[in-house]
A and B are shown apart, each in its own frame.
Chain A
Amino acid sequence: MSQEREAGRVVSMLGKQSLELKNPVFIKASASVVGSKEGQGPLGELFDMVGQDDMFGCDSWEEAESSLQKDAVYLAMGKAGLKKEEIRYLFAGDLLGQSIASSFGLAGYGIPLVGLYGACSTCGLSLSMGAMAIHAGYAEHVVCVTSSHFASAEKEFRYPLGYGNQRPLSATWTVTGSGAFVLSNSKEEKARARITGITTGRIMDYGLKDSMNMGPCMAPAACDTIYNHLRDFGRKPSDYDKIITGDLGSVGQHALLDLLREKEIDIAGQHMDCGIEIYDAKEQDTHAGGSGCGCSAVTLSAYILKKIEEGVWKRVLFVPTGALLSKTSFNEGQSVPGIAHGLVLETV
């Protein structure tokens, strides 16, 4: 106890899976880089950089995704007014095998790297890890970055792009984009938001096997995380201006609201899904919505943090969701388990 006081740091572990961050952890700056389709979407005006060509001047889709991460980190550090030498850790991840988009995109920075994989929930995972490091006093500034690319994800998980097939109405469209966030222990002049709580998710598996309908595969995980979060913090949905999931899409949103209603929690008034916001499903023919690590990351950077910064939303529960499958596990007949990580974001 005396040691804790000496360091002036207090951690509150709440319930079984939550942390209340009492020491300051700020999102000092952030940046979003997206592809052309996202640029044409409803949030198009808000992104920092929109590529006209989804190859981003590279030779392959994988390299293009790497360049997304590289650019997002560069922009975020620039906005924070920090040099790469001042960043203690990078917390990064993507959807490709062995996270090559992060490895090749971030190699040039020479910043100590923690590589992460949480499927499409990686944005929440990296922010949680970054916030914990800052809160514990292990770093003054860290950068959290995640990315996804439509074409590299199709290649990794589905078919070659030129192959003709019919996507089911429940399928989601992988977002081409990368979001980077500079976390800091002091706000100095300005900060976009403060991270005040973390609820790390558990793997939930209801035995669904359809990789073309991932929303409902992840909805039980989002439900579990939101439910435990509210219980751990002793809060009600109305304590939040928004409860925002990552990429459940329209089918998953339906399932999440119903699952929570069974537990007698109604979040219909607060709920928003990044995957539903990022595209105009009718106009852009994306079916159930957007998905991928980039989906929640760029929406957080461009849209959610903007609303928090402006004070429109005072407190938000941000819950990126991930489907933990690989092409091999899918072909071997395994189910698609889900995971969701929660973060409480508040106005500074």
Chain B
Amino acid sequence: MDEQIKQEYQEYVKEVTPTHNLWMQMGKAFLTGGIICVLGQVILNYSTNTLGLEKETASGWCSLLLILSSILLTGLNLYPSIVKFGGAGALVPITGFANSVAAPAIEFKKEGQVFGIGCKIFTIAGPVILFGIFTSWILGLVYWIYQSIGVA
């Protein structure tokens, strides 16, 4: 088929396809992400000020509690609605990561513990884990070289 007709059609489709309002989405994402972060801060403040935990221990508890609540909300099928509203605001914090691990685990449980949950639990989170670890390895290497030549 004529490449030009294809090209024209592709541009036409881009024009007539409705999209979400970017500014509105950014506002919602800011709100949702903000609420999650405030929640984290509340946990952090409570555990350091009231419970008297070390700052590092407290931040560990903070992550754990956020992950737990995200997984519970995924199990109750509420988390998808939060993301539908908040978009990246709900996906980028640690809660979004927890959701992306819990959801395949639930979905693929039917295919068995090993080939279902085992193989497919990281289908969405996998790239984040792989490239996250790889990037930190590279940064570690850079840091080590800098230290060796006495810069840092």
Contacts and interface: CB of A to CB of B under 8 A. Distances in A.
Is chain B's interface secondary structure helix, strand, loop, or mixed overall? helix
Interface size class of A (residues with CB under 8 A): 20 to 34
A254 interface: yes
Contacts of A184: none
A161 B13 contact: no
A188 B74 CA distance: 55
Contacts of A60: 110
Contacts of B110: 59-60
Contacts of B50: none
A208 B16 CA distance: 14
B9 interface: yes
A161 B19 contact: no
Interface in B77-116: 77, 79-80, 82-84, 87, 90-91, 96, 99-100, 102-104, 106-108, 110
Given A164-B79, A166-B84, A207-B10, A159 B103 contact: yes
B124 interface: yes
B18 interface: yes
A164 B91 contact: yes
B17 A164 contact: no
A255 B16 contact: yes
Name A's interface SS: loop
Nearest to B101: A163
B124 A159 contact: yes
A168 interface: yes
Given A166-B84, A206-B6, A208-B13, A160 B104 contact: yes
A325 to B, nearest CB: 16
Contacts of B25: 166
Nearest to A287: B18
A43 B151 CA distance: 72
Interface residues of B, number: 36
B123 to A, nearest CB: 8
B124 A163 contact: yes
Nearest to A251: B17
Contacts of B13: 208, 213, 216, 251, 255
A206 B20 contact: no
Interface in B97-152: 99-100, 102-104, 106-108, 110, 123-124
Given A159-B103, A160-B106, A205-B1, A165 B16 contact: no
Contact of A163 (B1, B18, B19, B104): B104
Interface string A280-292: 0000000000000
A254 B74 CA distance: 37
B107 A162 contact: yes
B23 interface: no
The 10 closest A-B pairs by CB, nearest first: A164-B83, A160-B107, A162-B103, A163-B103, A160-B103, A216-B13, A169-B18, A164-B80, A206-B9, A60-B110
Given A255-B13, A258-B16, 8 more contacts: A159-B124, A161-B106, A162-B77, A164-B79, A164-B84, A164-B90, A165-B83, A206-B6
27 contacts: A159-B124, A160-B103, A160-B104, A160-B106, A161-B77, A161-B106, A161-B107, A162-B74, A162-B99, A162-B107, A163-B100, A166-B25, A166-B83, A168-B20, A170-B18, A205-B1, A206-B1, A206-B5, A206-B6, A206-B10, A208-B9, A208-B10, A213-B13, A216-B9, A220-B9, A251-B13, A255-B12
